[in-house]
Amino acid sequence: MSGIRHFLLALQFFTRVPVTGSLAEWVGFSPQMLRASAAHLPGIGWLVGGVAAAVFAGVAWGLQGTAGALAAAVISTVATVMLTGAFHEDGLADVADGLGGSANRERALEIMKDSRIGAFGAVALVLALGLKFALLAALAGRGLQAAAIAIVGAHVLSRLMPLFLIRWLPYVGDSGASKAKPLADAISPGALLIAIVWTVPAVVLLLQAHDAVHVAAAVLAATLAAGWMAQLFVRRLRGFTGDGLGATQQVCELAIYLALAWKA
């Protein structure tokens, strides 16, 4: 039952799905529970990816051609943003603003805490969303099933990667103000194993629609993207922040789409 509570707490924290009333009372809350809920972040990817895939397939089925695929990509992304509250996209924008706005570590961290979006954040979001739309349209050229499965797999796998940053890097955010502090404190080997268990079926699912070379490339691309983000955070910030975890998920998701869409 504690596993179900941890999953529901992750659902409450990482999405806009309402976990309220008596259900919220049953789930409960503590910093320790929030820390344990990180193990179920890939499980949230199954929900968000499933919704995105269903919306994408439904729209692309009704709207033929490249323009239809682009429209499907936009509408499915709108669905995920509504479902998550742009949780990860906000992290990407804050990281871009912070790292782009100052070479000074303290100033960069200060900028990242500012709720206002700057030029670097806006450009990062436009480029990331534009690339996502284009890659999903390219994947649709291989069939709706292949594209839909790619969406699910990317959402799950990309949510595993930030957990390795939690495991191996120090947290350097504002511990007094950040609600993500307990989540980012640490992740146990057992919790990381649970996250991997959530992810393995997604890789198996990818193999049903994409060849082994593309799937292996997608896993490698996500790993390299997460490694690149990790070294960037170490070099610029000497650790990671909550925004950094969201940015890592976004970069890894794009890397997965790119690897799966790449011509064999």
Q: How confident is the model at residue 33 (pLDDT cuts 50, 70, 90)?
A: confident
Q: CA torsion sign, 252 to 17 to 77 to 198?
A: positive
Question: In angstroms, how far apart are the furthest CA atoms of the chain?
Answer: 52
Q: How confident is the model at residue 57 (pLDDT cuts 50, 70, 90)?
A: very high
Report the SS3 class of residue 171: strand
How confident is the model at residue 64, as a pLDDT?
Answer: 85
How confident is the model at residue 263, as a pLDDT?
Answer: 85
Residues 6+ apart with CB under 8 A from 159: 41, 42, 44, 45, 249
How confident is the model at residue 105, as a pLDDT?
Answer: 95
240 phi/psi in degrees, rounded to 5: -120, 165
210 phi/psi in degrees, rounded to 5: -130, 150
Residues 6+ apart with CB under 8 A from 73: 56, 132, 133, 136, 137, 140
Mean pLDDT of 70-94: 96
Closest CA to 59 of 45, 89, 84, 79: 79
31 phi/psi in degrees, rounded to 5: -55, -35
Q: Could you tell me the pTM of the whole model? A: 0.94
Give the start-to-end residue ranges of the domains of the chain: 42-261
Side chain identity at 67, as an amino acid letter?
Answer: A
Would you say residue 35 has pLDDT above 80? yes
Q: Give DSSP secondary structure letters for 187-205.
A: --HHHHHHHHHHHHHHHHH
Percent of the chain with pLDDT over 70: 95
Q: Please, are residues 9 and 37 in contact by the beta-carbon 8 Å criterion?
A: yes
How confident is the model at residue 187, as a pLDDT?
Answer: 86
Q: How far apart are CA 128 and CA 13, in angstroms?
A: 24
Q: How confident is the model at residue 101 (pLDDT cuts 50, 70, 90)?
A: very high
Residues 6+ apart with CB under 8 A from 41: 10, 14, 159, 160, 162, 163, 195
Q: How far apart are CA 262 and CA 141, in angstroms?
A: 12
Q: Kindly report the average pLDDT of the chain as a whole number.
A: 93
Angle, CA of 187, 226 and 255, to the nearest 5°: 135
Q: What is the pLDDT of residues 174-191, one digit of tens each?
A: 755 555 566 666 788 999
Q: What is the pLDDT of residues 129-156, one digit of tens each?
A: 999 999 999 999 999 999 999 999 999 9
Q: How confident is the model at residue 192 (pLDDT cuts 50, 70, 90)?
A: very high
Would you say residue 111 has pLDDT above 80? yes
Q: How far apart are CA 209 and CA 150, in angstroms?
A: 8
Would you say residue 67 has pLDDT above 80? yes
How confident is the model at residue 98, as a pLDDT?
Answer: 96
